[in-house]
Amino acid sequence: MSTRYEALVSKIHSGQVAILDCGTSTELERRGATMDDQVWSARVSIESFDVLVETHQAYIDAGADVITVNGYASSRLVLEPAGFTDEVRTINMKNIEAALLARERCGNQDVLIAGSVSHNLGFLTGSNQFNKRQVTRETLFEAFNEMF
């Protein structure tokens, strides 16, 4: 276990509150980052990197003990059907880089960075309906392992 993680667990066990960021995609959109109909906020790390870093910084400045990587919609399961197969690794590495940079810029090395994954398979083209195709458990694990 990392020292950061142990410190957070100790904080919780002592009855203190741990604060997790929330609504990152909503905040990204509010700050002007473009959302994609099929992949939601997945491409923000390569199209609006500075906005992503600033969003993480704002959560840290607001007191977050944990920030989450902008990975909720950036698995191969979402990106591949939308035509972004070649960008999966780049997008996820930039997501991690943004969170690390935000923590560094805030000077608060105690902040934990957590992954964020979803079973969501993206949206069907031209609609607000989730893609409901079936994928195996193994495919889910492969997609998630590739992200981090």
Q: Does domain 3-147 have CATH number 3.40.960.10?
A: no
2: buried, middle or exposed (CB in 10 Å: 19+, 13-18, 0-12)?
exposed
pLDDT 10s digit of each residue in the chain, 148 long? 689 999 999 999 999 999 999 999 999 999 999 998 788 899 999 999 999 999 999 999 999 999 999 998 898 888 988 899 999 999 999 999 999 999 999 999 999 999 987 766 555 555 555 556 667 778 777 877 787 7
CA 100 to chain centre: 12
Judge contact between 51 and 94, C-beta under 8 A: no
Record the pTM: 0.86
Tokens 């929330």, located at residue: 22
Query: Residue 29's pLDDT is what?
Result: 96
Residue 114 has φ and ψ, to the nearest 5°, of -110, 150
Q: Which amino acid is at 105?
A: R
